[in-house]
Amino acid sequence: MKIRIDKDRCVGNARCAAISETLFELDDDGYIAVTEIDVPPGMEALARRGARACPEKIIEIIEE
């Protein structure tokens, strides 16, 4: 599983990071720091929850 993020549309709510700081790393200003994440085994549920938590819906789950 991968996560793809439209970083340019992030407004810094940090709801994704509240679900998992490990998966959804923020920069010093509180915005998402990455555009793509390889989800480690066992963290798929957290990835899905983090994507659902984003009010802007900028986080896409890519099943492989």
Q: pLDDT, tens digit, for every residue of 9-59?
A: 999 999 999 999 999 999 999 999 999 999 999 999 999 999 999 999 999
Looking at residue 40, what is its pLDDT? 97
Residue 62 scores a pLDDT above 90: yes
CA distance 64 to 27: 27
The total domain count for the chain is 1
Closest by alpha carbon to 15, among 4, 6, 3, 26?
26
Q: Which residues pair with 60 in a beta bridge?
A: 4
Q: State which residues form the domain around 36.
A: 2-62
CATH of the domain at 58: 3.30.70.20
What band does 64 get if pLDDT is binned at 50, 70 and 90?
confident
Looking at residue 25, what is its pLDDT? 95
* Single pTM value for the model: 0.89
User: CB count, 10 Å around CB of 37?
Assistant: 21
Q: Which residues pair with 61 in a beta bridge?
A: 3
List the structure tokens of 6: 């439209």
